[in-house]
Amino acid sequence: MMNDAFDLRLAESHIEVHKFRSGAIVVSTFLALVLQAFVPVYFPKFAVLDLPLLVVVYFGLSRRNPSTGLLLGMVIGLLQDSLSGPTVPLGLYGIAKTIIGYLASSIGARLDTEHPAARFALTMMFFVLHQGVITLTRRLLLAEPEPWFTLRLVIAAAINAVVAVVLFTLLDRLRKS
Amino acid sequence: MAGVPSRHKSLVLLAGVIILQVVLLAVQIKRDSQGRLLRVWTVGAVSPFQRAGAKGIGNIRDTWSHYFALQNTTRDNEQLRRENDALKLQVNQLQSKAAESDRLAALLNFRQAQRNVPMLAARVIGTGADTGSQTVDLDRGERDGIRRNMGVITPDGVVGKVIESYRDTAQVQLLTDKYSGVGGMLAESRIQSPVGGTGEPLLSMKYIPTDETVNVGEHVVTSGMDRIFPRDLPVGIVTEIKTGRPFQQVRVRPAANLQRLEEVIVLLTLHPLEKKETPAPAADATGKSVGGTAAVNP
């Protein structure tokens, strides 16, 4: 029923739901997590990127199904939590990426998000929102004093958005024609 | 979900999933449990790739420097010769500075005193997956004798402590992490104070009374009060001092290059490290302790 409703809406707005080659989501997720936990050893500046978030945003915008989007976000977020050591409790990135997964698929179901400019703007917005949710969770649930807004956040959002435009174009190749 | 309109089902699922994760967070805070099973599985799945990647990069670097980068050898030799001359001059100057040689003597004494502390070299194979990560992963774990709360150093100074040990890997909380701390001491005045991370590249020495004199450039060493690190290991150098009441705000640049760690040494002991008085002149001065024991909870 849920999928029928979405198909109907998508049909009305002429927005295509993309399908991917088998294993594409699993491999992309795994690669993003490995790179996120490995590359900063040699290139510390790489840590500014949040590759798992970009994967959540991309598949959310492409698959356009809020339920699968939020579940994918939850799984990736929890895996990122578990790779981050005991200083990051399980659920911190999980909650943030669940919300982003849901929003990305909901927006993807209503707007055409294939244009690079749209992808840039959406990724930047999702990055800021993601950090906002993490800050909120840290402040409310963990009672940790986190700043709401820093210049570093804006710079990181812009860098992630630029990388997203390139990365999303590469990930487009994993789509089934 | 049967009575829920289909367009709201995903919203209900979202609420359910978030509530579940909030409960998961609450359980971890309440019980101080860290979901070890999921962490063990995830780290177990990812660490072989990190290990292979680290080895691959090492091999590429070796191949590059031994076979392809030889065209720079002559230029490097000339540069090294010039540097060598400059260093000889520097060594002569250093030898004339009694205070500096005293400090080096103290360090030498420390090394001799701690000869029996078992140590293990480990390679850094990864970092925490969160973007503001102040943790690193090592390629050694429980099988090599690494346990939680063991100290981690480099020849330059203190790095941090082990916060989780898995079968083949271990996670180290860096000194710069905002929840990290070490018992510190100013090398010259022997004033003790915890040195903690701030989440930024610089450390903070919080409990130095305003009436004590601290100089920029002064060395900070471990006090041994945390019972994790032996006394007199380099922690950092004072870079900034701000007056405040009742304590000064002293910022310290870490001695070890925490931004670019590739190999570290793990102190393989959980027994409180024996404090040995070093015969260096500065060490005989009366140490003033201000909350030194509160630095780290071993």
Q: pTM score, two decimals?
A: 0.68
Between A70 and A113, name the one with better pLDDT.
Answer: A70
Asked if B237 and B255 touch (Cβ cutoff 8 Å), the reply is: yes
* Contact between chains at A87 and B163 (C-beta distance less than 8 A): yes
What's the CA gap between A88 and A86, in Å, rounded? 5
Q: For A104-163, what is each residue's pLDDT tens digit?
A: 999 887 887 888 999 999 999 999 999 999 999 988 888 877 888 888 899 999 999 999
Domain covering B174-294: architecture: Beta Barrel (2.40)
**Pairing of the two strands B234-242 and B247-254:** antiparallel
Q: Which residues contact A163 (CB under 8 A, 6 or more apart)?
A: A49, A54
What are the pLDDT tens digits along chain B (298 aa)?
556 666 688 889 999 999 999 888 888 776 665 566 777 778 888 888 888 888 888 788 777 777 766 667 777 888 888 888 778 767 766 665 665 566 456 546 655 666 667 888 888 998 887 777 789 999 999 999 999 999 999 888 899 999 989 988 999 999 999 888 899 999 888 888 999 998 888 999 888 888 888 888 999 999 888 888 888 889 999 999 888 778 888 999 999 988 888 888 898 877 655 544 444 443 333 333 333 323 333 2
Which among B13, B18, B129 has CB closest to A84? B129
Q: How far is A77 from chain B (nearest CA, A)?
A: 10
User: Using CB atoms and an 8 Å cut-off, which of residues 160-219 of chain B contact chain A?
Assistant: 163-164, 171, 173, 177, 179
* Contact between chains at B127 and A41 (C-beta distance less than 8 A): yes
Q: Which residue of B has its CA nearest to A46?
A: B131
H or E segment and range at residue B4? none
Identify which of B157, B187, B188, B162 has the alpha carbon closest to the alpha carbon of residue B173: B162
Q: What is the DSSP string of A73-104?
A: HHHHHHHHHHHS-TTS-TTHHHHHHHHHHHHH
Q: For B222-267, what is each residue's pLDDT tens digit?
A: 988 888 888 888 999 999 988 877 888 899 999 998 888 888 889 8
Q: How far is B67 from chain A (nearest CA, A)?
A: 21
